[in-house]
Amino acid sequence: SPVQYKSAVYAGKPENSSFLKRMQVRITDLPENAGVLIVDASENELDKKKKWLNDFVIRQGKTMLVLWPDENSDLSWLPGKIMAGKALERKEKIFKVILSAEEKQNKLLNGITSEDMYFKFFRDEIPLIRKAGSGKIMLSGLLAEIPAGQGKIIICQLNPDQHENERSFGKVYRFWANLFTSLSVALDSRLNLYWNGLEISQREWLFEIDPENAGIKTEWFQPAFNDNNWKRLKTGKSWESQGITSENPALPGPPHTSYNGNAWYRLHLDIPEKYLKSDLYLEIGAIAGEDTVWLNGSLIGTTSKKTAGSKNYYQAFRNYKNPSGLLRGKNNVIAVCVYNEGGFGGLTKWPVRISPADQPYDTVLFPLEKNRKQGDPYRYVMW
């Protein structure tokens, strides 16, 4: 018989529910109408959580999904002895789970494979579930399933927000999509079966180095700025590989073998009328350096060591929303200021495109990585 997908209801801190909106989980305000009761592990709205557990899980057989408890979380209100122990410290950068034969047969894990549980972490700790009362711990501590009266409790430690701007985000997104599907939670997302974006990866951009950091002060990001004498560079490769190798004398330290410091890219482009009727996003596969991006003179996004992590900012996928009404049909100007302090710099990875929707980072339509080496967890594009 057809699966009856239902809404979910949420209780807890608002910031812990942001990923539900991103995944377009159908949310209701009425727990009696919800198929799954989603709660975080904080003490926010604790009385409501206890009531939901007693009235709807234990008595009516519904499922409660508990998000991301840590060693400081008080889980005594849940049945049985449940503990999310102190995070496991790991020196290696890869987290890998091989699904057991029992886990492969568990309907809760339908669609989830060992490859999904094989990704790089740019952190030193991974939170794990240590004890699950009379329930069972799965995926090496990332998931637990616990009986509670007529219903059950699911505890999950895989937090999508921790993977933001990391290449593991696509796999975490896939994991949650499968988990929600297994729990019969309705998702209102719509994935087009064709690409409907404006591909600009092959375009040449105007380029100029900025060793004296004059670009911000003299507003090189403004559409009217005169860039007639700038060089032309391609995206998908570093500026060094295109002849930009002169040393920046303003940088301290030993002599450099290539240009480091601030540099600017500018692109003039027209936007077809059909793209102006919906929200648009500028997508760049990766930028080797910290970047700040303007569209028609207005700031639309930035990525730095602070926002993306010192080990990841240079390979993070950029996805910047263009504010409503900012784009126009003719003579748009995108300006990108890149600060690179060592190694190769520039707009180093495709795709570069204007997208009509906020797309997941790693899908069959928009894969980020291809033909990677054996042993690299990103050699699999699993969407």
**Residue whose structure tokens are 């091989």:** 98
**Strands 88-89 and 136-138, sheet pairing:** unpaired
Query: In Å, what is the CA distance from 4 to each residue of 25, 174, 184, 225, 229?
Result: 15, 21, 7, 57, 62
Q: Is the dihedral of CA 104, 109, 110, 113 positive or negative?
A: negative
**Strands 151-156 and 63-67, sheet pairing:** parallel
Nearest in space to 134 (alpha carbons), one of 62, 80, 84: 80
pTM of the model as a whole: 0.55
Q: What is the pLDDT of residues 269-296, one digit of tens each?
A: 988 887 777 778 898 988 999 999 999 9
Read off the amino acid at residue 283. E
Looking at residue 363, what is its pLDDT?
42
Read off the amino acid at residue 222. Q
Cα(13)–Cα(29) distance, integer angstroms: 15
> Measured in whole angstroms, how far is the alpha carbon of residue 119 from the centre of its chain?
14
Q: Does domain 7-182 have CATH number 3.40.50.720?
A: no
Rg (CA), the chain: 24
Tell me, letter by letter, the H, E, C secondary structure of the chain: CCCCCEEEEEECCHHHHHHHHHCCECECCCHHHEEEEEEECCCCCHHHHHHHHHHHHHCCCCEEEEECCCCCCCCCCCCCCEECCCCEECCCCEEECCCCHHHHHCHHHCCCCCCCCEEECCCCEECCCCEECCCEEEHHHCEEEEEECCEEEEEECCCHHHHCCCCCHHHHHHHHHHHHHHCCECECCCCCCCCCCEECCCCEEEEEECCCCCCCCCCCCCCCCCCCCCEEEECCCCCHHHCCCCCCCCCCCCCCCCCCEEEEEEEEECCCHHHHHCCEEEEEEEEECEEEEEECCEEEEEECHHHHCCCCHHHCCEEEEECCCCCCCCCEEEEEEEEECCCCCEEEEEEEEEECCCCCCCCCCCCCCCCCCCCCHHHCCCC
Looking at residue 380, what is its pLDDT?
38
Looking at residue 194, what is its pLDDT?
39
**Residue whose structure tokens are 């790991």:** 90
Do the Cβ atoms of 253 and 313 come closer than 8 Å? no
Cα(53)–Cα(146) distance, integer angstroms: 13
Residues (pLDDT < 70) of the chain are: 1-3, 86-93, 120-126, 165-167, 189-197, 252-257, 309-311, 324, 357-383
Looking at residue 138, what is its pLDDT?
95
Looking at residue 170, what is its pLDDT?
74
Phi and psi at 12, nearest 5°, equal: 140, -160
Looking at residue 364, what is its pLDDT?
35
Structure tokens at 65: 């999904």
CATH for the stretch 198-358: 2.60.120.260
Looking at residue 383, what is its pLDDT?
30
Looking at residue 267, what is its pLDDT?
96
Are 7-182 and 198-358 equal in CATH topology? no
Nearest in space to 356 (alpha carbons), one of 378, 324, 334: 324
Domain ranges of the chain: 7-182, 198-358
Cα(72)–Cα(61) distance, integer angstroms: 29
Read off the amino acid at residue 136. K
Phi and psi at 253, nearest 5°, equal: 95, -170
Looking at residue 370, what is its pLDDT?
40
Looking at residue 261, what is its pLDDT?
92
Q: What is the dihedral of CA 321, 326, 330, 336, to 10 degrees?
A: -50
Structure tokens at 131: 């004890």
